[in-house]
Amino acid sequence: MRCERIAVGPDPVAEAAAARALAPQPQSVRDGVAEIVSTVRLGGDRALRELVARYDTGGAAPPLSLRLPAEDLDAGLLAEDVRVGLEIAIANVALVADAGVGADEIQVDLPQGHRVTLREVPVRRAAIYVPGGRAPYPSSLVMGVVTARAAGVEEVVVLTPPVIDPLIRGACALCGVHEVYAMGGAHGIAAVAYGTETIERVDVIAGPGSLIVQEAKRQVSDSVGIDGFYGPSDVLVLADKTADARLVALDLLAQGEHGPGAPVVAVSDDASFLDALEAQLEALSPQRPHSQPAAYVLALAGSLREALAFAEAFAPEHLELVGPAAERFARRVRSAGCVFVGSAGATAFGDYVAGSNHSLPTGGSARFASGLSARHFRRRFSEVQIGEAAPALAAAGAPIARAEGFEVHAESMEARVEENPRT
C-alpha cells in the first residue's frame, strides 16, 4: 500500500497538481486510434469485422451480423436481487434526468418588434458505450440509456465488447434497448460515428471506456456529439475531526478498485484524524486486494478553508464532505463532478442507485466540464421571425455588414425593406 502525506499551504493549485502527478501518465494512443478510425470509415463492414476479430474475439471470426438478436435480450437472465437493484437504479436515474430537461420552447420578444424563439429538441439517435473489460457494467448502461431516453432520444443504441454478458443483455431488456452491437474499442466508436453498410450512424456517443475508447470519441467529435473524455476515476474526501476514519477508509478503498490510474485523496485540518485514517487503510487494505489506486494521498491543511481551496484546485470527479464542519461547504463547491454530503454519502451510492449520474468529468476537468445529463442528448437552436422589425434591423445591421466588407449581406437586409417590409 502506497500512502503519501502532503501539507496543504498557500498554493493549492500546485499542491493539487503534485497529488495528481502521483498517478502514472498514460501512454499516447492517438496515432493507433487514428489508424483504426480511418480504417472503419473507409472500409465499412468488412474492415469492422476484421477489427472485431483482432481486438474483441481473440482472432475468432465474428458472426455475420454484429447486432445481437432480439431474443438474446431478456430480463430473465438477471438474478432476482440484481434485477430489483437495477430497477431502482433505472427509476432514480430517470427521475433525476427528467428534472434536467428544460422547456422545449422559450419565446423572446425583442424591442424592434420581432421575435426569436429558442427551441430545444433531442437528437434522433444516440449510442451508449458500455465497457466490458474486467467485468460487465450494467450500471454504466443504465446511466447512459436512461438519461438518453429522458432527453427524448428516439433511437438508443448500445455497443459493448463481446462476448456480451447476461448481465448486460438483461439490463438492456429492462431499459428497453433493442439495438445492441457486439463490438468495442475504437472500431466500435468509429462504426457508430460514421456508419457502415449495416450500421446507421448516430448523433451522439456517450459512456465511459478505456483510454483508447475515449481517444476515439475525441477523434470523431468533429462528426458526432460526445459527452466528454472520461479518464481514470478519482475521489477526494474533505473531512473534519469528527469523521469516522473507518468509513472514509472504505470509501477510498472502494474508489481504488478502479485501478492505478488516479490517486485517492483525503484532506483534513486535523492531524489525528489523518493518523487514524492511515491506520485504518493499513488494517483494511490487505483483505481488499482489488483496491490498487496510484496512491493514497493524505493531505493536512491549516484550516478547512484551506482544505476546500485544495479540493477546488484538485477538482475531483467525486467529492465527499464528511463531518458537520465540512458539510457546511456544500453550497460553496464549484469544481467537482458530484458532491456527496454527510457520513452516509458514500460515492458508491452514486455509482449505482442514488439517481445521480456516474459518468463524470475526471482528471481535474470538473473545473469546466459537467457530468452526463439529458443536456448532452439535446440541442438548442433559434427560430427567427423578423416581420415588421425589418426596417429598424436593416438600418442597424447594414452598416455593420459594410464595415466588415460584406456588401451583399447589407444588400440582403435592405432588400427586405424595399420589396416586402412585412416578410
**The one-letter amino acid at 258:** H
Beta carbons within 8 Å of 301's beta carbon, 6+ residues apart? 7, 8, 267, 268, 269, 307, 310
All domains of the chain, ordered by start, with CATH?
3-26+232-354 (3.40.50.1980), 30-104+122-228 (3.40.50.1980), 386-419 (no CATH)
CB-CB contact of 236 with 318 (8 Å): yes
404 is catalytic: no
Place of cell 483482432: 54
* Residue 210: CA count within 13 A, CB half-sphere: 19
State whether residue 22 is helix, strand or coil: coil
**Max Cα distance, the chain (Å):** 84
Q: Which residues pair with 235 in a beta bridge?
A: 264, 318
The reported pLDDT for the residue numbered 420 is 53
pTM: 0.92
- Rounded to whole angstroms, the Cα distance separating 148 from 217 reads 17
Of 217, 206, 221, 193, nearest in space to 44 by CA: 193
Dihedral-angle region of residue 194 (phi above 0 means left; psi in -120 to 50 means alpha; beta otherwise): alpha
d(C-alpha 260, C-alpha 258), whole Å: 7
Residue of 187, 318, 358, 376 marked active site: 318
The grid coordinates of residue 118 equal 429558442
Annotated catalytic, 258? no
Per residue of the chain (423 residues), what is the pLDDT tens digit?
889 999 998 899 999 999 999 988 888 999 999 999 999 999 999 999 999 999 999 899 998 899 999 999 999 999 999 999 999 999 999 999 999 898 899 999 999 999 999 999 999 999 999 998 778 999 999 999 999 999 999 999 999 999 999 999 999 999 999 999 999 999 999 999 999 999 999 999 999 999 999 999 999 999 999 999 998 999 999 999 999 999 999 999 999 999 888 889 999 999 999 999 999 999 999 999 999 999 999 999 999 999 999 999 999 999 999 999 999 999 999 999 999 999 999 999 999 999 999 999 999 999 999 999 999 999 999 999 999 999 999 999 999 999 999 999 999 999 998 765 444
* Closest-CA residue to 4 (of 260, 295, 387): 295
Of 306, 317, 358, 376, the active-site residue reads 317
